[in-house]
Every structure is written in structure tokens, then in C-alpha cells.
A and B are shown apart, each in its own frame.
Chain A
Amino acid sequence: MQNKVIVLSVIGVVLVAGLASYATWQLGFLDRKNIELKDYGVAKDFNLTNIEGERVLFSAHDGKVRLVTWIYTHCTQGCSTIGLKVINMIEKLNEDGYGDMVEAFIIDFDFLFDNSSTLTEWAHKMAGETLPLNIEFLLGTEREINQTARDWNFYYKYVNMTEMTETTETNSTSMEGHMEHSIVWVHPFIVTFVDTNGTIQHYESGLTWDYNDAVDVVKYMVDN
């Protein structure tokens, strides 16, 4: 009798633990799909220049869901990662039939060192020979970038690493992966999601955000 109780208890505990794990997983899954968007206010308009030399007005794309992110071409890991994520998101959305309803704006805020040719090179390096039609790679003058950054609450600051490395001991191995790293801007990694009416509804910040979730958010914004 005692054995029976022990055995049934063990099986019971295992069963309850299994069901609890399954339920947690399911709830997490549902929660992930239950996308909540907030009203973060109206996105301010901007007018910048793309790599073809054409002026691009943000509001000219009203009616589309828009993604806005910020990079500079000498940035090593972070900007490449965020660029890759946005480009892969657009590729995925295009493949899934959302291409006509979505536009991405990748703004190069390094008005000091970047120009049309460096950004064009970066764009092709990241997105291939044929750039997706619904991604704009944008540049601006110092005044335009400062204004746009202020309007979009984007913080950035140039750090002169050349002066810093002169006074800091480094070894060649540790700096090997940071070629061209004398140009450093301190800035956040952020993607802003703007709905078809021009309202900011979602942000992804940092580099570890979930790519699938972000794609789902855009699809949800298009469908609703």
C-alpha cells in the first residue's frame, strides 16, 4: 500500500510538473502572439537624401508601416547587426507579400565622415547588389541630422578614439576585429515602428530583440 502511494505520488508530481511546463510554454506563446501596441505620439516628418541623391520625405510614405533605424558605416558590430535584422525583416516581409505596405529608412547619422559613396558601399555590402526597393538609405547635412535626431529623440555623440588610443595600451590581436574603429559614435541601437497614419506604435531597442516578434508586429500593424 505504502509503495503504491509513493509510486502514484511520483507519477502525480511528474504529471503536474509536465502539465505546468506545457501550460507555461503555451501561455508564453499566446502572450507573444498577443501583440500590444502603444501610442507613442506622432512621428515627426523628415526630409533627407538617399544614396541616389534624391530627397526623401518621410510623410510621403504615409499609408505604409515604416521602420526607422540609425547607423554609421564605420560602426562595426552593432550597426551591422541592426542593419542585418532590418534588411532580413524586409526580405521576409517582402517574401510574405507585405512588401507594398512596408518601408524601411536606415539613417546614416555620421555627417562628419560618411557620404553617399560610403553609404552606398555599406548598403550593397549589407543588402546585396540589388537593393530592396522598400529600403531607403539616407544621409543628411549636420543640420538635417541634428534636427531629425532631436525630433526622433535619438541621442548620439562623437568620440575621438584616435586621441584615446594614443594614451591607451592595446595589443594588435584585440584590436584586429575593430578596424576603422577610430571613428566611434556613442548611440543607442533602436528601431522605431510607425503605423500607416504616422503614429509611433512600437520600439525595439538593443540588439537582442526577437526577429520573429518584430516581423509579427509589422504584419499586425499592416493587417489592423
Chain B
Amino acid sequence: MRARLIIVLSLFLITNVSATPYEITVQGLAGEDIKLSSYKGDVFLLDLMATWCQPCAIQTRDFVQNYKELKDTLTLVSISVSPASDTPSKVNKTKYESGATWTFAIDTYLQVFDEYNPSILPTLLLFDVAGNLIERWEGITNSSTILDRLNSTKDRVTFPLASFLIFITPMWAVRRSYP
């Protein structure tokens, strides 16, 4: 019985483990390393941007205007994926001038660029509480679109539970067959 339990649980884990962003480290504006694992358990939005990118400035402005609503439902992190050009002081200036109050960082180790390969800036990546990428937007995206998507995301947390039940049911049936 124990063997069956182990097999079923292993299958559950194998099929539910997916790549998460938690291994990624970016650099904060004070030069410190920020591990994305520090956002574990949060719904969070990565805003891939660059200080020279004009559409990114428009995106930031939209975030500033709607940050009150956004911060109630997600953690926002803006990350410059142009480390060759964007120094901490340059990013800090962009942050300060836009009036943004959320975390800004730099993809100094190009780990975000490696993993998510943005083809246009800004690129927005929305992750659920389990670290699953649940939405990707390329180009300027209204905060309302993100908030709408988040409302539909709430159902997603039930997925692991549902899939666990799918695996546990046969085990329960076996248990019933062989008391």
C-alpha cells in the first residue's frame, strides 16, 4: 500500500512541477542581489523594460496611475533587461522621475533575458502564487487588462488541488478494493 502511495504521490509531483522564476537573481538599485524566490507565494508581475525604451515609459506611467489598485492584488517589479546601458543610477533616475514606488532592478546576469527572451519592450510576465507563468503581454498593456486577467487567475489555484484529487482517487479505489 505504501509503495502505491509513493508512486501516486511521485506522479503527482512530477506532473505538477514546472519551471519557476525562483532561481533567477537580478540586481537591485543599491547593487544588492534580489532573488525572485523572495516573491514566493505572491502573485507577481515582472515588467521587462529599459530606460531608453519610450513605450516602457508609457507603461510605467500607466502603472503609476493605477498602482493603488495593482498593489492590492500583485507585487510589481520592473526589471531593465538592458544591463549594458542601464546603470543603477540611470534606472533610479527613471524610477524617481516617473514617481514609481515599486521595486526596480537590473537583469545584470541576463538571467531574465535568457529565460523569457523578450521580443519587444515592454514585456510583462504575470506569475501566480506557485510561480507559474500565467500570462505574457508584449507591448504596452493597460493595467485594467492585467487586473481583469488576475480576476480569472483566482480559479487557477484550484488546479493543483483538482489534479491531486485525480491522482488520489484511483488510490482510494484500490484501497476500497483491497481493504
Interface of A toward B, CB cutoff 8 Å: 3-4, 6-7, 10-11, 14-15, 18, 76-77, 80-81, 84, 87-88, 91-92, 124-128, 132, 176-177, 179, 206-208, 210-212
Contact = CB atoms under 8 A, between A and B. Distances in A.
B176 interface: yes
Interface string B106-118: 0000100110011
Contacts of B53: 80
A11 B113 contact: no
A21 to B, nearest CB: 8
Contacts of A4: 174, 177
29 contacts: A3-B174, A3-B176, A4-B174, A6-B170, A7-B174, A7-B177, A11-B8, A14-B11, A18-B11, A18-B14, A18-B15, A77-B55, A77-B139, A80-B50, A81-B119, A81-B120, A87-B82, A87-B84, A88-B84, A92-B110, A124-B85, A126-B82, A126-B84, A127-B84, A128-B84, A128-B85, A206-B119, A208-B117, A210-B117
Contacts of A81: 118-121
B65 interface: no
A91 B110 CA distance: 9
Interface string B35-67: 000000000000000101111001000000000
B17 to A, nearest CB: 11
B81 interface: yes
B56 to A, nearest CB: 9
B161 interface: no
A210 B52 CA distance: 22
Interface band, chain B: 20 to 34
A177 B55 contact: yes
A208 B117 CA distance: 8
Contacts of B119: 81, 206-208
Given A3-B177, A15-B11, A92-B110, A77 B120 contact: yes
Contact of B114 (A124, A206, A211): A211
A129 to B, nearest CB: 8
B170 A11 contact: yes
Given A81-B119, A128-B84, A88 B110 contact: yes
Given A88-B113, A177-B55, A207-B119, 6 more contacts: A4-B177, A81-B119, A81-B121, A88-B84, A206-B119, A211-B114
